[in-house]
Chains A and B, each alone.
Chain A
Amino acid sequence: MTGEPFEGDPIKDLLPPGAVTATRLADGEWHRLHPATPLLRGGFVFIFIAGSFISSARQQLVDLLFGGPRARDDGDPLVFITANGQLPLALLAIAALLLLIVVIFYFSWRVHTFRITDEVVEVRSGLIRRSLRKGRLDRIQGINIVRPFFARLFGAARLEIDVAGHDANVRLDYLSSANADGLRRDILRLASGTRQREAASAAPDSRSFVEQRLAEFIAPELDPDLAPPESVVKVHLGRLVGSILLHDTTFTLLVLIAAASVGSAVTGRLFAIYALVPLVFGLGGFLFRRFTKSLRYSIAATPDGVRVGFGLLTLSNETLPPGRIHSVQVRQPILWRLPGWWEIKVNRASKSNAKGADAQHNTTILPVGNLDDVLRVLGLLLPGTTAESAQVLRRGIVGSGPDGGFTNSPRRAAIIRWFSVRRNGFAEIPGVVLLRRGGVWRNLTMVPEARVQSIGMTQGPIDRALRLARVHVHTVNGPVRAELGALDFEVATGFFTAVSNEVVEQVRSDATHRWRANDSAA
Chain B
Amino acid sequence: MTGRLALPGVDWRRVSPRYVYVDVISTSVFTVGLVVLASLPAYFSAVAPWWILPAGVLVIMLVVIAFVPRRVRAIGYQLRDDDLLFRRGLLFQRFVSVPYGRMQLIDITRGPVSRVLGLSDLHFVTAAASSSVSIPGLLVADAEDLRDRLVALAETRRAGL
* B114 close to chain A: CB less than 8 A: no
Q: Which of B82, B91, B95, B133 has the most CB of A within 10 A?
A: B95
The segment from A225-233, A276-284, A492-500 that touches chain B is A492-500
B130→A474 contact, CB < 8 A:
yes
**Cβ contacts under 8 Å, B29 to chain A:** none
Is A340 among interface residues, defined by CB-CB distance under 8 A? no
Report the minimum CB–CB distance from A443 to chain B (whole Å).
Answer: 18
* Also in contact, A508 and B157, with CB within 8 A (given A453-B128, A454-B96, A459-B5): yes
Judging by beta carbons under 8 Å apart, are A489 and B97 in contact?
Answer: no
**Given A323-B160, A454-B98, A476-B128: A493 and B3 interface contact (C-beta under 8 Å):** no
A466 proximal to B (CB < 8 A): yes
Taking a contact as CB atoms under 8 Å apart, the answer to whether B7 and A466 are in contact is no
Is B129 on the interface with A (CB-CB < 8 A)? yes
A441 vs chain B, min Cβ distance (A)? 21
Measured between alpha carbons, how far is A503 from B126 in the docked complex, in Å? 14
Complex Cα distance A270/B25, Å?
Answer: 54
The answer, among B2, B130, B157, B161, for a CB contact under 8 Å with A456, is B130
Bitwise, B1-18 to A at CB < 8 A (1) or not (0) is 011111100000000000
A97 within 8 A of B: no
The reply to whether A464 and B97 contact each other, CB–CB distance below 8 Å, is no
B7 touches A456 (CB 8 A): no
B161–A474 contact, CB under 8 A? no
Interface flag for B102 (CB, 8 Å): yes
Instruction: Tell me whether B131 is interfacial, beta carbon within 8 Å.
Output: yes
Most buried by A among B92, B133, B160: B160
Query: How long is the Cα–Cα vector from A467 to B3 in the complex, in angstroms?
Result: 4
In angstroms, Cα B160 to Cα A468, docked, is 34
Complex CA–CA separation, A228 to B157 (angstroms): 38
B97 to nearest A CB, angstroms?
A: 4
Does A434 sit at the interface, judged by CB under 8 A?
A: no
Contact in complex: A468, B92 (CB < 8 Å): no
B95 lies within 8 A of A456 (CB): yes
- By the criterion CB–CB under 8 Å, are A497 and B131 in contact? no
B126 near A474 with CB under 8 A, answer yes
A456 adjacent to B94 (CB under 8 Å): yes
A248 within 8 A of B: no
Q: How far is the CB of B33 from chain A (nearest CB, A)?
A: 25
A459-B99 in contact given A489-B3, A504-B83 (Cβ < 8 Å): no
Do residues B96 and A455 form an inter-chain contact, with CB atoms below 8 A? yes
Contacts of B131 in A (CB 8 A): 453-454, 456, 474
Q: B102–A454 contact, CB under 8 A?
A: yes
Answer yes or no: A186 CB below 8 A from chain B CBs. no
Q: Quick one: given A460-B91, A460-B92, A513-B160, are A466 and B3 in contact (CB under 8 Å)?
A: yes
Does chain B have a CB within 8 A of A427?
no
> B-side interface residues toward A, CB under 8 Å?
2-7, 82-83, 89, 91-99, 101-102, 126-131, 133, 157, 159-161
List 29 A-B residue pairs with CB atoms under 8 Å apart, sorted by A's residue number. Answer: A323-B160, A349-B161, A453-B127, A453-B128, A454-B96, A455-B96, A456-B131, A457-B5, A457-B95, A457-B96, A458-B95, A459-B93, A464-B3, A474-B126, A474-B128, A475-B128, A477-B129, A493-B5, A496-B95, A496-B97, A497-B7, A500-B83, A500-B97, A500-B99, A503-B99, A504-B99, A507-B101, A508-B101, A510-B159
Known: A467-B2, A472-B130. 20 other contacts (CB 8 A): A139-B161, A349-B127, A454-B102, A455-B96, A455-B97, A456-B130, A456-B131, A458-B93, A459-B3, A461-B92, A464-B3, A467-B3, A469-B3, A469-B5, A477-B129, A493-B6, A500-B97, A508-B157, A510-B159, A512-B160
